[in-house]
A and B are shown apart, each in its own frame.
Chain A
Amino acid sequence: MRRNKIFVTSLWFALILLFLLLPVVADNPYLLRILAIAFMNVVLAVTFWLVLRAGPLNMAHIGFNAIGAYLSAALVMHKGWSFWLSAPVAAGVAGLCSAAVGPILLRLRGPYFFLVSFAMLEVIRLFFHNAFPATFGGAAGLVGIPVPDGITSIGLTPVTGFYVFTLVLAIITVAGTARLMSSQFGVVLSAVRQSQDLTAAIGIDGNAYKLTALSISAIISAFTGAVFAHFNGVVHADDFGLNRAVIVVLHTVVGGTGHIAGPVLGAFVFTLISEQLRQLQSLQLLGFGIVLIVVLIAAPRGLLGLIEWIRQRWSTKASWRSQTVGTAQDN
Chain B
Amino acid sequence: MFQQLPQRGIVMPTELWVQGLLNGVILGTIYILIALGLTLVFSIMRIINFAHGEFYMAGAFLAWIFLTRFSLPYWLVVILAMAGTAFLGLVIERLIFRRFHGDMLGAFVAGLGLVWVMQMLALMIFGTVEKKIPSILSGSVRIAGMIFSYERIAILFTGIFLVLVLHALVQYTAWGRATRAAALDPIAIQLMGVDVKKLGSIVFTLGAALAGAAGVLVGPLFTVSPTMGSAPVIKAFIIIIVGGMGSFLGAMIGGLALGLLESIGSLYISSAWVAIIEFLAVIIVLLVRPQGLMGSAVE
What residues of chain A have their CB less than 8 Å away from a CB belonging to chain B?
A: 57, 101, 104, 107-112, 114-116, 118-120, 122-123, 126-127, 129-130, 242-243, 246, 249-250, 253, 282-283, 285-286, 288-293, 296-297, 300
Contacts and interface: CB of A to CB of B under 8 A. Distances in A.
Which secondary structure dominates chain B's binding surface? helix
6 contacts: A110-B299, A111-B48, A112-B286, A115-B48, A116-B282, A293-B117
Which secondary structure dominates chain A's binding surface? helix
Contact of A282 (B110, B113, B124): B124
Contact of B270 (A120, A127, A130, A282): A130
- What band does the interface of chain B fall in when counting residues whose beta carbon is under 8 Å from A? 35 or more
A244 B224 CA distance: 24
B138 to A, nearest CB: 36
B188 interface: no
B114 interface: yes
A165 B230 CA distance: 35
A241 to B, nearest CB: 9
Contacts of A104: 283, 286-287
Given A112-B241, A120-B279, A126-B275, A292 B113 contact: yes
A120 to B, nearest CB: 7
A168 to B, nearest CB: 31
B17 to A, nearest CB: 25
Interface in B103-121: 104-106, 108-110, 112-117, 119-121
Nearest to B279: A123
A48 B104 CA distance: 17
A296 B124 contact: no
B222 interface: no
B113 A290 contact: yes
A123 B280 CA distance: 10
Q: Give the one of A107, A122, A130, A289 with max B CB within 10 A.
A: A289
B110 A296 contact: yes
Contacts of A130: 270, 272-273
A193 B17 CA distance: 49
A287 to B, nearest CB: 9
Q: Which 5 A/B pairs are nearest by Cβ-Cβ distance?
A: A292-B113, A289-B116, A289-B117, A286-B120, A130-B272
A128 B54 CA distance: 26
A40 B178 CA distance: 50
Contacts of A126: 272, 275-276
A111 B106 CA distance: 12
A73 B105 CA distance: 35
Contacts of A253: 109
B91 interface: no
A286 B117 contact: yes
Interface string B217-260: 00000000000001000100110110001000000000000000
A149 to B, nearest CB: 34
Contact of B116 (A111, A118, A127, A288): A288
A143 to B, nearest CB: 21
Contact of B298 (A107, A109, A115, A283): A109
Given A111-B104, A242-B230, A293-B117, A116 B112 contact: no
Contacts of B176: none
B272 A246 contact: no
Contact of B121 (A123, A129, A286, A291): A286
